[in-house]
Amino acid sequence: MSAAPNQKTIYYNANHAHGLDERRRLQIPAKWRPEEEGSELTLMLWPKHKAGACLRVLPPEQMAKLLADINALPSGDPNKVMMKRFVGSESEQVTLDKAGRISLPEKMKVGAGIKDQAVLVGMLDYFEIWDADTLERARAMDASPTVDALAKFLD
């Protein structure tokens, strides 16, 4: 992940459990917040796990990279339009308030099965928002990474 010359790189690691208030606002950890006031995060409903959906949260630089990658596809590639349509229609920009919270859109909150508690899961260059029970089921279904496989990246 690259950062602007005067901006620090943010790594999304660890898990953070937070409650949602009556306006569906969710606290984002201070170390995960963009430095620039008014920065937007992109939320996408991510129904890619057998255990259930979560919300994938892309910081501005990851959203820009995704758009650049899609735009780099040849103009005649039918996947280009399909991907733009999917990302454009299934994502929403949210802005952090002064207290460092975002408001989860109702449709996305329901789609991810999030009730009054959510778990923010660091994915290093982005993060996900899960319902705690769904995350527990997903982790039980996931194969554990082996130390040997991870060691290849750390040597």
pLDDT (0 to 100) of residue 6: 58
For the chain, list residues with pLDDT below 50.
1-4
Q: Do the Cβ atoms of 92 and 105 come closer than 8 Å?
A: yes
Q: Do the Cβ atoms of 35 and 8 come closer than 8 Å?
A: yes
pLDDT (0 to 100) of residue 121: 98
pTM to 2 decimals?
A: 0.86
pLDDT (0 to 100) of residue 149: 74
Give, for 91, the enclosing helix (H) or strand (E).
Answer: strand 91-95
The fold of the 15-154 domain, in CATH, is Chemotaxis protein chec (3.40.1550)
Of 67, 56, 31, 148, give the one whose Cα is nearest residue 108.
56
Distance CA 87, CA 43 (A): 10
Q: Do the Cβ atoms of 10 and 34 come closer than 8 Å?
A: yes
Q: Residue for token digits 């279904």? A: 141
pLDDT (0 to 100) of residue 1: 46
pLDDT (0 to 100) of residue 47: 86
pLDDT (0 to 100) of residue 134: 95
- For the chain, what are the domain ranges? 15-154
Edge-to-edge, what's the strand order for the sheet holding 15-19?
15-19, 117-122, 127-130, 54-58, 40-46, 91-95
Distance CA 153, CA 48 (A): 25
Amino acid at 42: T
pLDDT (0 to 100) of residue 9: 84
